[in-house]
Amino acid sequence: MISGGEIIVIFIVVLVLFGPQKLPELARTIGKLMHELNKAMHDVKVQMDTDYEKTENETKDKAGKSSMDQKITEEKSESKDKE
């Protein structure tokens, strides 16, 4: 993590490089970029969660179908044995 002293040094360097007139514009631009980055990260997280839940549900459905298929097969073999 960045300490307070490091932040002050970074602020002074930015102030010298860009000047006091450009500093508010630069801060706005950085703020907008941070907002877009957070929005993109949120969208990726939502997409990953959705895909994970979909895969999990498909896996559960397949497991349920497998056990149903197994029961049907067992019932068929039992009925054939009785004949």
Q: Do residues 20 and 11 touch, judged by C-beta distance below 8 A?
A: no
- What local confidence, expressed as pLDDT, does residue 13 receive? 92
Question: Per-residue pLDDT tens for 16-74?
Answer: 998 889 988 988 999 999 999 999 999 999 999 999 999 888 887 777 666 666 666 66
- What local confidence, expressed as pLDDT, does residue 59 receive? 82
- What local confidence, expressed as pLDDT, does residue 57 receive? 86
Range of the domain at 29: 20-54
Q: Specify the higher pLDDT residue, 2 or 26.
A: 26
Q: How far is CA 80 from the centre of its chain?
A: 52
CA atoms in the 13 A half-sphere facing the CB of 54: 6
The label of the residue with tokens 């006091």 reads 20
d(CA 59, CA 44): 22
- What local confidence, expressed as pLDDT, does residue 70 receive? 66
Domain assignment of residue 24, yes or no: yes
Measure Cα distances from 3 to 6, 7, 8, 9, 57 in Å: 5, 6, 9, 10, 46
pTM score, whole prediction: 0.54
Domain assignment of residue 29, yes or no: yes
Domain assignment of residue 25, yes or no: yes
Domain assignment of residue 38, yes or no: yes
